[in-house]
Structure 1
Amino acid sequence: MTSQTDLAALLCSRLCHDMLSPVGALSNGLELLADEQDPEMRKRCVELLEQSAKISTDKLKFFRLAFGAAGGFGDNVPVEEAQEVIAALAAGNKRVELNWAVSESSLPKPAVKVLLNLSQIALEALVRGGTLDIGAEKRDGNVEIVARATGKKIAFDEVIGHALQGEISAVEVTSRTAAAHMIATLAEEMGGGLQYALSDDALVLGGVIPQPEGMIG
């Protein structure tokens, strides 16, 4: 199995990769702003800086909830907080319509981590736009989660799907599959599981996560 140290390193690599573009844009924008004298161009540089700063902030908020351990793994997380970070990620692709179907006011942190990661995987599959449907509900002591991407073209590496279902070996875990491996391990440790289904125009990702003791109700 991949050690916790290796998994942490792979997740860090993924986070650094995702942050490189917006942070690099900030650096380039500051350089342009320092040299630019034209008022209109300076205004445009500031707009680009504000956009890059927002993207960076949104990604960091996502990473904090999706991968962070602040507060421990037994806490509840307001669903509104998870919805906000998913909406912010989806807003980066104007061709994606986001539908949210979660009536619960809060969910256990492990379930939120699964929800966020499945949402990101589904969103990344919509390379030509489409619809992203996110749902979750508490039922019979479990949290049932689904993320469904539908569109004209679904770009999904089934190695990620195999990682979600715990079907890849340690040597196959890379920075690309580390997040899927992490939530698959989390689900397994809690007595739950993840699965996926892929067709030409749809990707469905699902998970069943048992609620921690003391949080069922």
Structure 2
Amino acid sequence: MPITPADFASLLCSRLCHDLLSPVGALNNGLELLADETDPAMRQRCLDLLSESAKTSANKLKFFRLAFGAAGGFGEQVDARECRAAIEGLLSSGRKVELGWLVEADTLPKPAAKVLLNLAMIAGDALVRGGRLDIGGEVGGEENGGQVEIVVRAEGPRVILDPDIRRTLSDGEGDEAVTPRVAAALLIHTLAGSVQVSEPGDNVMLFGAAWQPPTSG
């Protein structure tokens, strides 16, 4: 079914609100507990909860600004170190995921950076019991039109990818109703076209995408 820009914006907003609801809700709960608690040890536990929830919320907001928004300055390039820091912040909350960074370029075109970030988020979510996430990116030269090739490798005890997300990465909108959980996959497909996704084998899943700069003239 065709997705209008307004529909797409709604899907993204729903996804962001869903992901932020848990840490922001934990902040609210921590404040309520702190207001009624008099025991010093319990008050310290409440403060620890507030600190952890605030850090998680801030990390997610920084990642979302770069992955979905206009963060990274007014230029056409994004510092690759910003992308790495955003992914590290996102992975620091919840299940333990080790990051392997194999991007040698100092900067990435903004659309390619968004493809990389969103693929990293999807692959990280697929590591339901933690594991390792290796992210590689190569920026081509004039001979291939500046194409950016991106590969993400997820390895862990259990790797599960939502079938709707897989379908959206490969086929785009398809014929079924699009839900907020596939918003990131739809953005990737819109920017880079079809994404190659392997079947989980030996607890490993590979994602491959390529972003091609638009031709002028």
TM-score where L is the length of structure 2: 0.90
- In the other structure, the counterpart of 1:138 is 139
Identity of aligned residues (%): 53
What amino acid is aligned across from residue 170 of structure 2 in structure 1?
A: Q
Partners of 2:196 and 2:209 within 8 A in 1: yes
- In the other structure, the counterpart of 1:85 is 86
Cα shift at 1:187 = 1.9
Cα shift at 1:94 = 5.0
Q: Which 5+ residue runs of structure 1 have no aligned equivalent?
A: none
How far apart, CA to CA, are the structure 1 residues paired with 2:72 and 2:119? 22
Does residue 105 in structure 1 map to residue 106 in structure 2?
A: yes
Does residue 152 in structure 1 map to residue 169 in structure 2?
A: no
3-state SS of paired residue (2:125): helix
- In the other structure, the counterpart of 2:210 is 208
3-state SS of paired residue (2:198): strand
Cα shift at 1:61 = 0.5
Matches within 5 A, 1:57-96: 57-70=58-71, 75-96=76-97
1:135-157 residue CA offsets vs partner (Å, 9 max, x unmatched): 11112311111111012211111
Aligned length: 210
Partners of 2:111 and 2:191 within 8 A in 1: yes
How far apart, CA to CA, are the structure 2 residues paired with 1:121 and 1:71? 21
3-state SS of paired residue (1:176): helix
Cα shift at 1:204 = 1.0
Partners of 2:120 and 2:135 within 8 A in 1: yes
Cα shift at 1:123 = 0.4
3-state SS of paired residue (1:208): strand
Seen in structure 2, the aligned counterparts of structure 1 residues 72 and 51 have a Cα distance that, compared at 3 Å, is closer
How far apart, CA to CA, are the structure 2 residues paired with 1:95 and 1:81? 21
Q: Please identify, of 37-46 and 24-33, the stretch whose mean Cα deviation from structure 2 is larger.
A: 37-46
How far apart, CA to CA, are the structure 2 residues paired with 1:146 and 1:75? 22
- In the other structure, the counterpart of 1:5 is 6
How far apart, CA to CA, are the structure 2 residues paired with 1:125 and 1:94? 11
Partners of 1:137 and 1:143 within 8 A in 2: yes
Cα shift at 1:73 = 8.6
What amino acid is aligned across from residue 50 of structure 1 in structure 2?
A: S
- In the other structure, the counterpart of 1:122 is 123
Cα shift at 1:171 = 3.7
TM-score where L is the length of structure 1: 0.90
Cα shift at 1:107 = 0.4
Q: Which 5+ residue runs of structure 2 have no aligned equivalent?
A: none
3-state SS of paired residue (1:107): strand
- In the other structure, the counterpart of 1:14 is 15
RMSD over aligned Cα atoms: 2.0
